[in-house]
Amino acid sequence: MKRIGILTGGGDAPGLNAVIRAAVKTAINEYQCEVLGIRNGYDGFLEEDGIIPLGRDSVRGILPRGGTILGSANRGNPYARKVIRDGKEVTIDVSDEIVKGIKKLQMDALLVLGGDGTLHIAHELYQKGVPVIGVPKTIDNDIGGTEFTFGFDTAVNIATEAIDRLHTTAESHHRAMVIELMGRDAGFIALHSGVSGGADVILIPEIPFTFDNILTKVRTRVERGLKFSILAVSEGAKPKGGGQVFSRKGDEMYVPRLGGIAQVVGEFLETHGFESRVTVLGHLQRGGTPTAFDRWLATRYGAAAVRLAAREGYDRMVALQCGEITDLPLEEAVAVPKRVDVNGDAVITARNIGISFGDE
Ligand code: F6P
């Protein structure tokens, strides 16, 4: 193995730099291998200055840093790249150009750090001869075949701290505090932080709710003398028979953006006599320094991805299973997105301790 490349695609997640650092160190220390960084996801193959050498010096001090030193691109799909031609925006397939660029660089492996979209593309590029290795990244924790993606633990910790802080002010003012959390169509962040932060109601996409059930829970608490409530709401949560709430419609440039369900829930409570305040935690969940767990996981993933490359384990993704790092075919990992098991112990535990999911 003489030369490998690394790219980071999709939304960033705390721990990306820790993966890059571990991969660079492992490649140099164990395989005397050259490492190239590709800037801004797959776009880097098409950009001037899109490829940079990564040495020990480039990764010094980046372990605790959030974001990615390589930059990322949310819309960097080589199969559907938006460009302006004759003043008009058109979608073109530049995958062959990218494959040509990759092959010209004579890389023995391309480590792709990404979520489902980026990893899907990696699998497709493999069909065109690119020796890809996947590393599962996302705060949503929604990638199959792995217990945890890096970035998730940091997001849960930030969300938990936010819920703790809402608790004290909720109690002082006898209010319902509704907090909207990220996760897209998976409720892991709301579930984990809601339980860890002692929420009274947790709404997740996997368990459709009714407004009446939420009201009953808040009312029952008041009747028991508890005049405040904490509601942890996943951005993708939806009422039974209803749809998700979006803050921005999808168009040629952007996928639809989830957002606004917490406001809907807060307004509903207000119209039924419960003073409410809404917090949207947003990108605070994605920014800043990774937790120790995410640094540990990201470091293990980075080193394991390079070992996998050395074994020519292309078109596979490193993963965490039963606490150990392993790997599985990329196709398998991205086939079905991971969702909260509504009959699993996490949901049962939450119900046992009196948390309402708004479904009963
Ligand atoms: O997938 C990660 C994530 O943070 C989701 O939880 C969220 O819906 C989305 O990305 C936000 O994306 P953007 O950074 O484009 O606003």
- Percentage, residues of the chain above pLDDT 70: 99
At 74, is the pLDDT very low, low, confident or very high (cuts 50, 70, 90)?
Answer: confident
How many angstroms is it from 283 CA to the middle of ligand 1? 8
77 compared with 194, residue with greater pLDDT: 194
292 compared with 101, residue with greater pLDDT: 292
Considering the candidates 140, 142, 200, 294, report the single residue annotated as catalytic.
140
Same fold, 3-150+290-321 and 154-287+341-352: yes
- Note the pLDDT of residue 66: 97
Q: Does the beta carbon of 11 sit less than 6 angstroms from any atom of ligand 1?
A: yes
> Model confidence over 240-269: pLDDT tens digits?
999 999 999 887 667 899 999 999 999 999
Q: Is the pLDDT of residue 169 over 90?
A: yes
Q: Two tokens at 336? A: 């079905």
- Note the pLDDT of residue 252: 66
User: Burial letters for 69-92: b for 16+ Cβ neighbours within 10 Å, e otherwise?
Assistant: bbbbbeebbbeebeeeeeeeeeee
Q: Does the beta carbon of 286 sit less than 6 angstroms from any atom of ligand 1?
A: yes
Q: Does the beta carbon of 220 sit less than 6 angstroms from any atom of ligand 1?
A: no
User: Which CATH fold would you assign to the domain 154-287+341-352?
Assistant: Rossmann fold (3.40.50)
Q: Two tokens at 68? A: 């990615």
pTM: 0.96
Write down the mean pLDDT value for the chain: 96
Q: Which phi and psi (to 5°) does residue 316 adopt?
A: -125, 165
Average the pLDDT over 180-196 and give the result: 98
- Note the pLDDT of residue 331: 97
Average the pLDDT over 186-211 and give the result: 98
- Closest-CA residue to 183 (of 13, 360, 353): 13
Please answer whether residues 118 and 10 qualify as being in contact, where contact means their C-beta atoms are separated by less than 8 angstroms. yes
Average the pLDDT over 49-56 and give the result: 97
- Note the pLDDT of residue 253: 67
* Known catalytic membership, residue 200: no
Classify burial at 104, counting beta carbons within 10 Å of its beta carbon; exposed 0-12, middle 13-18, buried 19 or more.
exposed
- Note the pLDDT of residue 82: 78
The minimum-distance atom of ligand 1 relative to the CA of 254 is 15
**Ligand 1 pocket test, candidate residues 156, 233, 257, 285, most atoms within 8 A of CB:** 257
User: Which CATH fold would you assign to the domain 3-150+290-321?
Assistant: Rossmann fold (3.40.50)
- Note the pLDDT of residue 88: 84
At 77, is the pLDDT very low, low, confident or very high (cuts 50, 70, 90)?
Answer: confident
Please answer whether residues 8 and 64 qualify as being in contact, where contact means their C-beta atoms are separated by less than 8 angstroms. no
**What are the distances in angstroms from CA 330 to CA 77, 78, 112, 301, 316?**
17, 18, 11, 15, 5
**Domain range summary for the chain, segments of one domain joined by +:** 3-150+290-321, 154-287+341-352
Rounded Cα gap, residues 8 and 70, in angstroms:
7
Q: Two tokens at 209? A: 């709710």
Q: Does the beta carbon of 202 sit less than 6 angstroms from any atom of ligand 1?
A: no
> Model confidence over 101-141: pLDDT tens digits?
889 999 999 999 999 999 999 999 999 999 999 999 999 99
- Note the pLDDT of residue 203: 99
How many angstroms is it from 190 CA to the middle of ligand 1? 14
- Note the pLDDT of residue 83: 80
Cα four-point dihedral sign 167, 170, 174, 180: negative
Return the number of other C-beta atoms located less than 10 Å from residue 333's C-beta: 25
